[in-house]
Structure 1
Amino acid sequence: MSDFMLPDIGEGIVECEVVEWRVAEGDVIEEDQPVVEVMTDKALVEITAPEAGRITRLYVDKGEIAKVHAPLFAYEAEGEASSEAEAPQAGPAREEHAEPGPAAPSVAPAPAGASKDFILPDIGEGIVECEIVEWRVAEGERIAEDQPVVDVMTDKARVEITAPEAGVVHRLHVAQGEITRVHAPLYAYLPEGGEAVAETPVPRRASPAPPETEAPRAEEGESRRGRGPYGRIPAAPAVRRLLREHGLALSEVPGSGKQGRVLKEDVLRHLERGGDETAAAVSAPRTAEGRAPGAGEPVAGEVRVEPLRGVRAVMARRMVEAATTIPHFQYGEEIDVTELLALRERLKPRAEQESVRLTLMPFFMKAMALAVREEPILNARLNDDASEIHYLPAVNVGMAVDSRAGLLVPNVKGVERRSLLGVAAEIQRLTEDARSGKVAASDLKGGTISISNIGAMGGTYAAPIINAPEVAIVAIGKTQWLPRFDVDDRVVKRAIMTVTWSGDHRIIDGGTIARFCNAWKGYLEAPETMLLHLG
């Protein structure tokens, strides 16, 4: 038995009202048969059957509200082994699925001897979707309780999903590299003791029908040109959404699938050809993947399109939000780090004995935590309606890391309480985790002030964007050996580092950030003075 999850039915739509069920529990259904009509805040939408089978349960009554990505109805696919436990149930069974909660890990109920769907649980505050990075198991493979099954990448971190109980993997619903949604089925498995039915193949739900490779028979000609057995054009919800995004009508795109089903490839091909695709293209020879010969092959001068996903997608949203809602102002300064470099060289061998790599970053962070004592508003934040300033009890310094997934900003918690060696060890751990894509979500939350070490890549100046809801960020430029005058007016060689601050001008003014920067600069130019304040 499989649960049909209410798909995305329009941009921004999260729920809808069930207007009319076209079927009842126990009814036999065919692929693309209309099953239910739902009303969103924009339109009446018809939901069709993903494949042939029999309705076993309706989870939402007529007139009730259904949630996107929540179970709408359950069905037994054609050819799937049935049992008495799959008989329609009433009342309380529906309520179990009306509101899928955030409890982890959730598994859709299933009868004894049949497979269960593992529902992707809430994996982080505000996260609604993730990308499948790597499946650790294959269909038919035996799994143990708490065994890692799949790695997924959210817009914040890489997360490992484990098995809720022992059994056998029956079906992987989402392919590697594809996007899945929270509260949607991730994979199906047979619990321990129910593996006997594993030999019975179950049609993979939500997979597009294989494209026809033979020329259509005469009696099928009309349906292949766009009309299925129910007088409508067959297409998956994702395809209909793609059409809406491009302002196309379903009837404009010739379908190459079974009974004229419009596939995603048909829509993309139609767009590539500027909408001038003719009916003759439908019956043109196709490859095993349903493409016309040569489709998808690189063309000279062709534009390569890559979807904006994961960390890069959330960075795009957050940077636009921060740049447009926070009044930024910049403040630049030069810092003489000659003495700091010498101190680090003396301490490096001791740190290496502890298997810790000592860079300048731990010194930057410790000096920042000390400077916050003098100007605590740099470690504060505004509440949502900008009516209160909240002074934070700990200095959690974030650091921008250029990872494979994109820009990540993990933070060292409680810098003011840690030793210099402790800060260095934590920086090393966070950097390694971020660059491998396995940084924990907790390491990305709770930052209070950030450092962007652009100088590590050769930059001298930058105007960083504040990492909201923080109120300040500093960009550190590369260190250069430059001529400077000493106290006796002699030209000497000094290590000069440029820094550029961005502050939230709603609560930080030029004088405040200048005083803070001067205090920070004082500790870095005379690093031994930090010893006076270390507990």
Structure 2
Amino acid sequence: MPKEVVLPELAESVVEGEILRWLVNEGDFLKKDQPFVEVMTDKVTVELPSPYEGVLLQKLVKEGQVVPVHAPIALIAEPGEVAAAVGDQKPAPAPSLQAQEERSIVEPGQVAEDDGASLSLFKPDNKPEQVKNPFVKAAPLAVSGPSTATVQAHGRVIAVPAARKLARELGLDIAQIPGSGPNGRVRVEDVKAYAEQTSRATPPAAAPSAPERAAPLLGLAPVQYKTPKGYEGLETRVPLRGLRRAIAQQMMASHLYTVRTLSVDEVDMTELVALRNRLKPEAEAQGVRLSYLPFIFKAVAVALKKFPALNSSLDEARQEVVLKHYVNIGMAVAAENGLIVPVVRDVERKSLLQIAREVGDLAEKARSGKLAPEEVSGSTFSITNIGSIGALFSFPIINVPDAAILGVHSIQKRPVVGENDEIVVRQMMYLSLSFDHRLVDGAEAARFTKEVIRLLEKPERLFLEAL
């Protein structure tokens, strides 16, 4: 019987992917682990390896189509099965996000089969367990029962993930929403109906809470562009796809879910420029290109340990501030198709040369489209080096869920008033810190920037600071 291939979970928090390009044709023979389709998520673009050996019987989705995680995307059959499968089977199209999510839900105490091995799909924290082969979809189980809200044994309401996410976005308590699905499971339609009922019941004069104020933003109709009269036929329309679509979604999330504030300062880089010039030949002898970024990364890591609020995230669902005791710095890289943010992990534990080597390797992978999913996730703070292309100043957009991003700009010779009131020429650079004011106060942001400046202006301090 032909095997169904599904879109795997390519990275943490990724819920969908866009089929960019099929690498093989229907009827082609595939070896196990042979790349057969290129998929774009909001994290990374990857070529998926075939989980089976056999013939690509049918592509279930087209190029450019966005499908949810765990949705079937292809059928693979053994060579002897091809003729019978073509005549007998007409696969259904990829299901909607809600339908697929409902199929993947397993009630407490039930198990699903995967490659003949029985395994529970739920851990105590109610998160799906990572199966051995992420391409293999667990068989859906038939459930039935009354259409009333049901709570699982560990106290969590039974609901499809899409419904739980929508309720969280609308600021609704999912425990209060009656479920119409099997066993009282809460579905997307239940959340929408409850939200509409609640809005009608709320008196117009009542002051809305923060989540209720945010809800209309999510429900705004998309803006439709109209060609100016007299310019018909003089425009080209390009589908919003691939990396550009992912960037647009990430920027909208940053706009809607952070309270951005900007703090600007300048740093005298004269001594750092001299130090880098002295160390550059030694780094090159070890095959490493030493830019200014490793020094900035190291200074930021030291400063984050002293000002942990800038190394945090906000878990809105649980109303908790997550303080991170590790430093993973995302760096914005301008690739051919758009902006990508690979992550240098555990910066506080690495030497300047190690950081420099990783910065170079990740930047090259980003430009060539060869980043792995784990290389673009898990950042705790971000840096954008807009100065590398000559920009003097910018207002960086926060890479959610990070609390802040630091923009570093062009190093330029400028006249500065010295300690004895003399005019001297120094190598100066602007720093622009964009931070989420829900997590970081203005005074703390300013002190953080001053600590970064203190370390960069006397770079030998980087070798004295304990992390």
Normalising by structure 1, we get a TM-score of 0.57
Aligned partner of 1:171 in structure 2 is 58
CA–CA separation in structure 1 for the residues paired with 2:273 and 2:337: 32
1:2-31: CA deviations, max 9, x gaps? xxxxxxxxxxxxxxxxxxxxxxxxxxxxxx
CA–CA separation in structure 2 for the residues paired with 1:125 and 1:523: 34
Aligned partner of 1:476 in structure 2 is 408
Quick one: which of 326, 340, 351 aligns to 1:419?
A: 351
Q: Secondary structure at the match of 1:395?
A: coil
1:155 and 2:42 aligned: yes
CA–CA separation in structure 2 for the residues paired with 1:317 and 1:132: 17
CA displacement at 1:194 relative to structure 2 = 3.6
1:331 and 2:263 aligned: yes
CA contact (8 A) 1:156 1:310 kept: no
Correspondences of 1:200-349 after superposition (within 5 Å) = 301-349=233-281
Aligned partner of 2:200 in structure 1 is none
CA–CA separation in structure 2 for the residues paired with 1:199 and 1:330: 60
Specify the code of the residue in structure 2 equivalent to 1:479. I
Quick one: which of 142, 146, 150 aligns to 2:33?
A: 146
Q: Secondary structure at the match of 1:430?
A: helix
CA–CA separation in structure 2 for the residues paired with 1:129 and 1:390: 25
CA contact (8 A) 1:166 1:192 kept: no
CA displacement at 1:122 relative to structure 2 = 3.3
Q: Secondary structure at the match of 1:423?
A: helix
Quick one: which of 381, 386, 391 aligns to 1:459?
A: 391
Aligned residues with identical type, % of pairs: 40
Aligned partner of 1:120 in structure 2 is 7
CA displacement at 1:205 relative to structure 2 = 7.8
CA–CA separation in structure 1 for the residues paired with 2:418 and 2:57: 75
Specify the code of the residue in structure 2 equivalent to 1:122. E
CA–CA separation in structure 2 for the residues paired with 1:386 and 1:495: 46
Aligned partner of 1:407 in structure 2 is 339
Quick one: which of 164, 187, 196 aligns to 2:74?
A: 187
CA displacement at 1:179 relative to structure 2 = 4.0
Task: Describe the shift of the 1:418–1:301 C-alpha distance in structure 2 as closer, same or farther (beyond 3 A).
Answer: same
CA–CA separation in structure 2 for the residues paired with 1:440 and 1:447: 14
CA displacement at 1:437 relative to structure 2 = 2.3
CA–CA separation in structure 1 for the residues paired with 2:84 and 2:319: 61
1:122-172: CA deviations, max 9, x gaps? 333443432333333233332222222222112211122112222223333
Q: Secondary structure at the match of 1:507?
A: coil
CA displacement at 1:470 relative to structure 2 = 1.8
Aligned partner of 1:135 in structure 2 is 22
Q: How large is the Cα RMSD of the aligned pairs?
A: 2.9
CA displacement at 1:333 relative to structure 2 = 0.7
CA contact (8 A) 2:52 2:76 kept: no
| Greater C-alpha Rg | 1
Which one has a larger percent helix, Structure 1 or Structure 2? 2
CA contact (8 A) 2:39 2:48 kept: yes
1:430 and 2:365 aligned: no
Aligned partner of 1:500 in structure 2 is 432
Specify the code of the residue in structure 2 equivalent to 1:480. Q
CA displacement at 1:202 relative to structure 2 = 8.8
Task: Describe the shift of the 1:135–1:319 C-alpha distance in structure 2 as closer, same or farther (beyond 3 A).
Answer: closer
Specify the code of the residue in structure 2 equivalent to 1:493. V
Task: Describe the shift of the 1:121–1:380 C-alpha distance in structure 2 as closer, same or farther (beyond 3 A).
Answer: closer
Which one has a larger percent strand, Structure 1 or Structure 2? 1
Higher relative contact order (CA 8 A, sep 6+): 2
Specify the code of the residue in structure 1 equivalent to 2:54. G
Normalising by structure 2, we get a TM-score of 0.64
1:59-99: CA deviations, max 9, x gaps? xxxxxxxxxxxxxxxxxxxxxxxxxxxxxxxxxxxxxxxxx
CA displacement at 1:355 relative to structure 2 = 2.3
CA displacement at 1:198 relative to structure 2 = 8.8
Task: Describe the shift of the 1:121–1:518 C-alpha distance in structure 2 as closer, same or farther (beyond 3 A).
Answer: closer
CA–CA separation in structure 2 for the residues paired with 1:388 and 1:180: 31
Task: Describe the shift of the 1:118–1:329 C-alpha distance in structure 2 as closer, same or farther (beyond 3 A).
Answer: closer
CA–CA separation in structure 2 for the residues paired with 1:424 and 1:181: 37
Q: Secondary structure at the match of 1:478?
A: coil
Task: Describe the shift of the 1:502–1:186 C-alpha distance in structure 2 as closer, same or farther (beyond 3 A).
Answer: same
CA–CA separation in structure 2 for the residues paired with 1:321 and 1:492: 44
Task: Describe the shift of the 1:386–1:179 C-alpha distance in structure 2 as closer, same or farther (beyond 3 A).
Answer: closer
Structure 2 alignment gaps of length 5 or more:
94-225
CA contact (8 A) 1:155 1:309 kept: no
Quick one: which of 355, 361, 366 aligns to 2:287?
A: 355
